[in-house]
Amino acid sequence: MFDSVELAARAYDVMVWRYDGATVPRNFFDVDNLAAAEFVAPPFSVVTRAEERAVRREYMRMSIRNRDEAEMAAFRSAHPQHVAEELEFYAQLAVQRAAVAASRPSSSSVLPPTIVVDDSSDDDDPDWIDKLVAEMEAEEAA
């Protein structure tokens, strides 16, 4: 991508000088060698398809995160009672945990009990964004 049509045409002329010499038609005839063409045209980089896909994937991730945060903010403003109840729940949980920790003897070498949690749900899958992006790319390709 170039900022102007002229810059794109100048970059084309640089490529003509670099790979074909002067045998291919050029856009500008005020430049008569490769060094002059490279001086007039700004340096540019070639982006591979893989790099382009990686950038697009990262933009999609950022878009998903931003949309998720916006929807969570909308939920918080639409349902302040739910937010207050959740904050109260976690405050009570912190008090309960502090009470349990205070009642436990500090010099005890007894390990706390192990709590087994069924984590078979995919709700907390850390790769959910990758899966969503892959689905979106598949839909886009179809």
84 within a domain of the structure (yes/no): yes
Number of domains the chain contains: 2
What are the tens digits of pLDDT across the range 73-118?
A: 999 999 999 999 999 999 999 999 999 888 877 655 667 777 776 6
116 within a domain of the structure (yes/no): no
Both 36 and 65 in one domain: the answer is no
Both 63 and 96 in one domain: the answer is yes
| Range of the structural domain that residue 52 is part of | 48-103
- Number of residues in the chain: 142
CB neighbours (10 Å) of residue 41? 22
Whole-number mean pLDDT of the chain? 81
Both 67 and 22 in one domain: the answer is no
Q: What is the DSSP letter of 120?
A: -
Both 60 and 83 in one domain: the answer is yes
The token duo for 127 is 């790769």
| Type of residue at 30 | D
Query: Does the pTM of the predicted model rise above 0.75?
Result: no
Of 103 and 26, the one with more pLDDT: 103
Q: What is the pLDDT of residue 66?
A: 92
